[in-house]
Structure formats: structure tokens, C-alpha cells
Amino acid sequence: MFQGSWKGPDPYDGSIFTISLVQTGNKLVGTLDDTFSLNVQPPGFHGNGSGQVLSNTTGQITFNLTRWDGRSVSWEVSLTLSNQNNTLTLDCSTDAYCPVVLQRK
């Protein structure tokens, strides 16, 4: 079940991603925090997202993220739970930031 918080390194810049998710039926909401954005002072991107659960171990979510300097992005990722739901993998086909592998906090 997509319920809880996961944390881990961003493979692109070494910052720390923290994602918290809440599943209600097939609906998914969450929050993403990134501690740093490359070449830009902290804090990094932060925002909320919503999506859907596709199976017991897969889902999709789109985060609407902003940063301290006003820059905003929309980030759509596929989610995969593994290792008794202790590992959350984020994958996206549109940029170099993926995959990101996070461990349950």
C-alpha cells in the first residue's frame, strides 16, 4: 500500500528526496521535498501531488513543485513498491532525474 514516507538520494545532484504518500482507494496524494537544486541555494523543490494507484505495487503521480526563487515545474512519475513496500522507485521517461530509489523512513 502506498502509505507512508520514503527518503533517499537524488542520483542527479546528491540532494535528498523525501516523499510522503497517502492512498485512499485508488486515489493517491503526496508531498515531495528536495533539499537542494543544483547551482541554486537551498531549499530545493517542494510541492504536492495527486495521482492513482494502478496495482498493489504500482502507481502514477504528478507533483506540482516550486522552489524558493519562484521557479515551478510539473513532474510526472511512475511509482513502484518493492521489498515488502520498504523501497519506492520513481521512474520517468522525460528527464535525467530518474530512476530515484527511496527507502521507507
DSSP one-letter string for 40-71? BPSP--EEEEEEEE-SSSEEEEEEEEE-TTS-
Looking at every residue in the chain, the average pLDDT score rounds to 90
**pLDDT (tens digit per residue) in 38-65:** 666 677 889 999 999 999 999 999 999 9
Residue 23 corresponds to which cell in the numbers above?
492512498
The fold of the 4-104 domain, in CATH, is Lipocalin (2.40.128)
Quick one: CA torsion of 47, 53, 59, 61, rounded to 10 degrees? -20
* Domain ranges for the chain: 4-104
Is a pLDDT exceeding 70 seen at residue 33?
yes
